[in-house]
Amino acid sequence: MSMFDRAEVPIGTWLKIPAPEPVEILAHVGFDFVVVDLEHAPLSLETAYRIVNSAAALGLTPLVRVPDHTPAMIQKILDAGAHGLLVPKVDTAEQARAVCRAMRFPPDGERGAGGTSKAGRWGLRPAAEYYAQRPLCIPQLESEQAIRSAADILALSDVDAVFVGPADLSLSFGTTPDDAAVRELIGHAIREAKAAGKPCGIAFGDAPPVAAAIEDGCGFALVSNDTGMLAKAAGGLLERLRGVE
């Protein structure tokens, strides 16, 4: 079952720490999914593999943000057991189509057979079941060109959702995520996703704006990250301690 099949909007966070403990903590407190960040964190492929399988065993949907569109990287991450991928800097439907093909087996795509991998349960998974796998394909829309191409990207049958990166989107404008033009582009992406019947996800630094975004049509939310939560909790604790007379 896809994480998008549940009644409530899924809430997740980024994983950047190369250790198993953060994913265990996040599972115990009740997050719905995690995204192992291979784009902006010093995580090895082997570490990502360990985290992905810990998440799955604990009932979290394990997604991975790959560093690029390379088919070889995409295949390795899917063979490692990821339930889906966030793919950065997808600006056009042509780029999205290429990513989809890297994620799907023939005849729909070009993913190679790796039935003796984790995704194939080391060769124990029936071939028909292995080849029927359909990991989530989630292009990231991080430029004005990407947002303007949202309808064409979402029209691809193998695209399951899209994700808007407010930070990179605002950088492309030389402004901030709160800029009116950026907010309008995010709203455009949400509207196009709703029209296509697919979720549009957004990243948030903290929890307060999430409820309003969900009301506006946000289909899944990524809130903070493991390092950010640790930094905020540690800083707040120390501030409170030092404030004690």
Q: For the ranges 13-17, 172-176, 192-196, which has the lowest average pLDDT? A: 172-176
Examine the residue annotation and report whether 188 is marked as an active-site residue of this protein.
no
Count of positions (residues) in the chain: 245
pLDDT score for 245: 54
209 secondary structure, DSSP code: T
pLDDT of residue 168: 83
Residue corresponding to tokens 């691809």: 156
Range of the domain at 38: 3-242
> Residue 167 has what pLDDT?
85
Token couple for 229: 């939560």
What is the distance between the alpha carbons of residues 45 and 121, in angstroms, rounded to a whole number?
18
pLDDT of residue 101: 98
Choosing from 28, 40, 69, 83, the catalytic residue is: 40
Considering its fold, how many domains does the chain have in total? 1
How far apart, in whole angstroms, are the C-alpha atoms of residue 196 and residue 146? 16
**pLDDT tens-digit readout, 71-127:** 999 999 999 999 999 999 999 999 999 999 999 999 999 999 999 999 999 999 999
Looking at residue 214, its pLDDT comes to 85
Report the CATH number that the domain containing residue 204 is assigned in CATH.
Answer: 3.20.20.60
pLDDT digits (tens, 9 = 90+) for 34-44: 999 999 999 99
Q: What is the C-alpha to C-alpha distance for residues 24 and 41, in angstroms, rounded to an integer? A: 19
Label residue 155 by pLDDT band (50, 70, 90): very high
CA dist 40 and 143 (Å) reads 18
Q: What is the rounded CA–CA span in Å between residue 160 and residue 190?
A: 14
3-state secondary structure of 239: helix
- Looking at residue 161, its pLDDT comes to 98
Q: Write the pLDDT tens digit of every residue in 22-77.
A: 999 999 999 999 999 999 999 999 999 999 999 999 999 999 999 999 999 999 99
